Amino acid sequence: MDTDKAPRSNRSTVGRVVAVVVMGLTLYIVLPALVRVIASWPRLLKLEPWWLVVAVVTEIASFFCSMALLRLILRSDSWFPVVTSALAGNAVTNTLPGGDALGASVQFRMLSAAGIDSVQAASGLAVASIIGIAGLLSLPIFALPVVLGGVSVRAGLVHAGELGVFGFVLIMVLGIVLLTTDRTLIVTGRAVQWLLNKLPRRPRTTNLPDRLIAERDLVRTDLGKNWWKAVLLIAGRIGLDYFSLLAALRATGARPNPSLVLLAYSATAVIALLPLTPGGLGIVEASLSGLLVLANVPSASAVVATLAFRVGSYWLPTIAGGVCWILFRRRYGRLTVSEKTA
């Protein structure tokens, strides 16, 4: 018996069990809110159809900006592997326990199978993730002028805004450290390289710390030249997603203060970063509908708007991800990381 493989298998099984238990407990807590939102689906037929179209179109444009940003960071000329891997990885994230890690792994393996260097793919995904999180956490800052101008804001939204600003500072510090110092990347690279070389049936990885630093320098130089494109794309990614929520609210007939909706949206985005359920299922529905009520949206409108928003941001991309997985497999075959890209 291979005593080395058995502990790894046991740890993997325990990890999956823990993920399922955590997800189950979380869903049990948020289940009433989730059921309430999903049960409102017949009311979608009574919403303003043109505003629903706007909500879906802006959500599609938001995903396009996200993929264009990743393509820019990866310095890739091809759209197909970037789009298909992003949507397929997103579908895994939205459907499986521990989906964030699994989704990132699937996306990484698809990019590698498409011929993109593994270090380039890993660093690109990491940079895109950091930029995306920083953008989300910066949103409360844009609502501060209205809040400071005397608009009445519920305490829950104020605390959510404070949390977002604090997180923004932390993620900016992390980004500066990674972009300007080598020590953190060297330690991280050594740890990752050790873990990779412990995996069975995988080419041995060497010089990963040096490769990470070299790739970081390339990304930093390239983003330095195209910083305005990165800013526009991340602004488009988040801004269009937010406008999709506003359009869903308008479809219900509600006309809340956009700044208060921005606080509710940003707070929900921060909460959804916690990988408790696949794609934030249940958590987003519960928190967004509740926070929209704090933003002075009528309860019925908040629930229906949340459902409409999630159709465009969760359900449709998940379905599209399954289609992208099939298309990718037809073109590239099985997912393997070759020795060249390892």
What average pLDDT does the segment 299-325 reach? 92
Q: What is the pLDDT of residue 151?
A: 60
- pLDDT, averaged across the chain: 79
**Contacts by residues 205-214 (CB-CB < 8 Å, ≥ 24 positions apart):** 205/342, 208/119, 209/185, 211/119, 212/119, 212/123, 212/185, 212/188, 213/182, 213/185, 213/186, 213/189
Q: What is the pLDDT of residue 201?
A: 63
Q: What is the pLDDT of residue 50?
A: 94
Domains of the chain by residue range: 75-332
Chain segment 2-23, per-residue pLDDT in tens: 444 444 444 555 555 555 555 5
Q: What is the pLDDT of residue 46?
A: 86
Three-class SS of the chain? CCCCHHHHHHHHHHHHHHHHHHHHHHHHHHHHHHHHHHCCHHHHHHCCHHHHHHHHHHHHHHHHHHHHHHHHHHCCCCCHHHHHHHHHHHHHHHHCCCHHHHHHHHHHHHHHHCCCCHHHHHHHHHHHHHHHHHHHHHHHHHHHHHHHCCCCCCHHHHHHHHHHHHHHHHHHHHHHHHHHCCHHHHHHHHHHHHHHHHCCCCCCCCCHHHHHHHHHHHHHHHHHHCHHHHHHHHHHHHHHHHHHHHHHHHHCCCCCCHHHHHHHHHHHHHHHCCCCCHHHCCHHHHHHHHHHHHCCCCHHHHHHHHHHHHHHHHHHHHHHHHHHHHHHHHHHCCCCCCCCCC
What average pLDDT does the segment 216-226 reach? 74
What average pLDDT does the segment 308-323 reach? 93
What average pLDDT does the segment 131-145 reach? 76
**CB-CB contact of 245 with 263 (8 Å):** no
Chain segment 84-112, per-residue pLDDT in tens: 999 999 999 888 776 677 888 899 899 98
What six digits make up the tokens of 142?
């844009």
pLDDT confidence tier of residue 342, bands split at 50, 70 and 90? very low
**CB-CB contact of 208 with 119 (8 Å):** yes
Q: What is the pLDDT of residue 132?
A: 84
pLDDT confidence tier of residue 202, bands split at 50, 70 and 90? low
**CB-CB contact of 103 with 89 (8 Å):** yes
Q: What is the pLDDT of residue 150?
A: 56
pLDDT confidence tier of residue 340, bands split at 50, 70 and 90? very low
**CB-CB contact of 312 with 68 (8 Å):** no
Give pTM, 2 decimals: 0.78
pLDDT at 278 over 80: no
Q: What is the pLDDT of residue 65?
A: 94
pLDDT confidence tier of residue 247, bands split at 50, 70 and 90? very high
Chain segment 139-175, per-residue pLDDT in tens: 777 766 666 655 666 666 666 666 666 666 776 677 7
Chain segment 32-80, per-residue pLDDT in tens: 666 667 777 788 888 899 999 999 999 999 999 999 999 998 888 899 9
Q: What is the pLDDT of residue 83?
A: 95
